[in-house]
Structure 1
């Protein structure tokens, strides 16, 4: 991922929180036939490995798990994003030398990928992923709410994914390269947007140095 210095994010706490907040990531592997990507919900285990480990599962019919990966796999976690209009910049009124851009947050996690079929490991991964997303429900659904034979049958239709993280790259492009006045203009415009994701980006634009 191309990361200019102004947008680089190296704080592990920020990177891991962004990964946790991203409900659907994309698993990408390089293969002899070309790259393959699959949108997947993944959960992060911080206690496994030097940089933590990602787990998930994909459909057994998905050819990605059967294609031998070349090198490390990559999991892409996209955070909030927003279009930035040049009309929001104070600089537009000064010289008009402005163009549109996009603000966003992203984390790329790299490491060797393992696809597994062991029923016990699959059940553990499915249970942990389910508990993660059901935790906020008023009445959380649990895997053992379903009949055991049904659960085992469902497990035969999936393959587990394990990615031991070797390296993390983080990018938070939040108008840090613009003047104080331009950042204020972008933050105000996005804060007034009806889109909650736009408003999320507005709250992240660094204004602490602006008086």
Structure 2
């Protein structure tokens, strides 16, 4: 990934991207070329030296069975937003401004491990469900569904775990603009309901 020094993500930002990944594009090389699947993921910091991203995919998906040994890649995307030049005070001062795009992303590399046993899968789906149902007023739990039904669903999926070896992460959040322009970006994003993007711009200011 091309990462200018002023856009390099700090360790805390990387941890936040991993912990709140939601979903990631898993990319693997096969004899037939690249394969990619968007998968809900959960970060487990207790696996290996750098943690692991744990997910599952349909058993009929050929990606899990055709990926050779070697590196795989998961692409995690944080908040991203179109940035209008009209939000910059610099537009009124000299007009030398153009649109851009703000974003946070991490390219997570590692070894792909396949888990084809019901025990691992059951623990994984319960954990993943808990991550997304935990804050809801009436959370759904795996055990709310009939046991035989869940067993059938587990047979239809395969677990995949990316044991992390390295991470390249970038946050392009108006760090190259003046404080006034960055404040204009945050205000502009907030005005159109993009609170996460606005907060990200404010977070990276010195």
Please give the TM-score of this superposition, normalised by the length of structure 1.
0.89
**CA deviation after TM superposition for structure 1 residue 95, in Å:** 3.0
**CA deviation after TM superposition for structure 1 residue 38, in Å:** 0.8
When structure 1 is superposed on structure 2, of 83-92 and 159-168 the one drifting more is 83-92
**CA deviation after TM superposition for structure 1 residue 69, in Å:** 3.4
Unaligned runs of 5+ in 1: none
CA contact (8 A) 1:29 1:70 kept: no
Aligned length: 205
CA-to-aligned-CA distance 1:78-115 (integer Å, 9 cap, x gap): 11111111222222223322211001111221101112
Q: Which residue of 2 aligns with 1:96?
A: 95
* Partner secondary structure for residue 112 of structure 1: strand
CA contact (8 A) 2:104 2:171 kept: yes
The 5 A counterparts of 1:33-44 are: 33-44=32-43
Q: Which residue of 1 aligns with 2:4?
A: 4
Unaligned runs of 5+ in 2: none
Q: 1:199 aligns with which of 189, 192, 195?
A: 195
Structure 2: distance between partners of 1:176 and 1:119: 47
The 5 A counterparts of 1:115-154 are: 115-154=114-153
Structure 2: distance between partners of 1:14 and 1:208: 13
**CA deviation after TM superposition for structure 1 residue 145, in Å:** 2.6
Alignment pair present for 1:50 and 2:39 = no
When structure 1 is superposed on structure 2, of 134-143 and 103-112 the one drifting more is 134-143
Structure 2: distance between partners of 1:92 and 1:144: 57
Structure 1: distance between partners of 2:74 and 2:141: 27
CA-to-aligned-CA distance 1:104-133 (integer Å, 9 cap, x gap): 111221101112211211112112112222
* Partner secondary structure for residue 166 of structure 1: strand
CA contact (8 A) 1:10 1:169 kept: no
Q: Which residue of 1 aligns with 2:169?
A: 170
Q: Which residue of 2 aligns with 1:160?
A: 159
* Partner secondary structure for residue 73 of structure 2: strand
CA contact (8 A) 1:130 1:142 kept: yes
Q: CA RMSD in A?
A: 1.8
CA-to-aligned-CA distance 1:124-157 (integer Å, 9 cap, x gap): 2112112222211223322223232222211111
* Partner secondary structure for residue 14 of structure 1: helix
Structure 2: distance between partners of 1:178 and 1:48: 39
Q: Which residue of 2 aligns with 1:113?
A: 112
Please give the TM-score of this superposition, normalised by the length of structure 2.
0.91
